[in-house]
Amino acid sequence: MKEFWGHYGLGLIERIGKNHVFLEASGLAFSIVVCIVPFVLIIFAVLGFVLESPTIRMEINEFIDRLIPYSDAADTVKEVVFERAQEFKVNKNVAGILGILGLLWASSRLFSSMRTILNVSYKNRLVGSIFGDVVAKMRDLAMVLLVLFYFLLATTIIPGLAALEKLTENSTILQFLHIEFVGDLIVQAASFIIITFAFFVIYYFVPQAKLPLKVIIVSALWGALFWGVAEYMFRLYINNFMSLKRIYGAYVFIIVTVFWIYYTSVVLIVGAEIGQLYRERSRKKEKEAEKEQQSEA
């Protein structure tokens, strides 16, 4: 047990300092912020088509409430989304085209930065080539489409989970059995699975070198765990101990958004570092097993 905690605990601290994780997270967060602008243009262009439906509006409300842990910031986002979406409805085609072109350019920077960082974390030594660069750019475009699909999927699933949670809260049977928490448990479990899958996709597709499946799973699980714990602690903190709006005023949404983007970047890199530590420990065990077999022979 001492060796286990020494390898992972001290090893993680050493790698965070050696690989300048917090500095890398700052650069990655900046790339994400740059990518947000064209992505929002595309979202507004799509919303211009669908916001006429009351059901869609309700689902978007539920999605924003789940995505942003601070209620005042969530209300600000709703106001901006619905007001700007109506404005974009008139010029939705132009907004969509500009958004797509901008997103293709920005995503190239984002996933290139992410690939470089993850290659350092996983110690992938790659020789540059024209073919490899072309393949990397194609993967960037595929990741953009995957992100858009994942966003639409999450927009559909999360409100459905919220409806399921309300259904279980109002269920006579569950109230009689005193297990009203089942609905909340289902929602939390499903949210954890969704976040884990998102991390898994990033660790699987973004690095150029193919990683062992177990390493990817370990990285994704730890990344999702850190993200979930931070979300809960942050929600608890802002709901009970401080008023962000009183301190930051109209800038509260920007503060919350930047914080979450930066923290998510840190979590993404730390998850990769833990996965690499698991990889190194597994290799060490394999070598020790081989030596034992050779000595016995």
* Whole-angstrom Cα Rg for the chain: 22
C-alpha–C-alpha distance, residues 166 and 163, integer Å:
5
Residue 231 pLDDT class (50, 70, 90 cuts): confident
Please state whether 207 falls in left (phi above 0), alpha (psi between -120 and 50) or beta. Answer: beta
pLDDT at residue 150 tops 70: no
What secondary structure letter does DSSP report for 183? H
User: Is residue 178 very low, low, confident or very high in pLDDT (cuts 50, 70, 90)?
Assistant: very low
Q: What pTM was computed for the model?
A: 0.74
Contact 112, 208 (CB under 8 A): no
How many Å apart are CA 96 and CA 91, to the nearest integer?
A: 9
Residue 41 token pair:
């243009």
**Number of compact structural domains in the chain:** 1
Burial 82-93 (b: 16+ CB within 10 A, else e): eebbeebbeebe
pLDDT at 85 over 50: yes
Q: What span, in angstroms and rounded, lies between the C-alpha atoms of 92 and 52?
A: 14
Residue found by looking up tokens 């570092």 in the block? 273
Contact criterion met (CB below 8 Å) for 143 and 205 = yes
Residue 82 near residue 57, CB atoms below 8 Å: yes
pLDDT at 216: 94
- Residue 274, domain extent: 2-296
Residue 52, pLDDT above cutoff 60: no
Q: Which of 102-116, 135-149, 217-231, 241-255 has the lowest mean pLDDT?
A: 241-255
Q: Quote the CA–CA distance of 274 and 241 in Å, as a whole number.
A: 32
DSSP 212: P
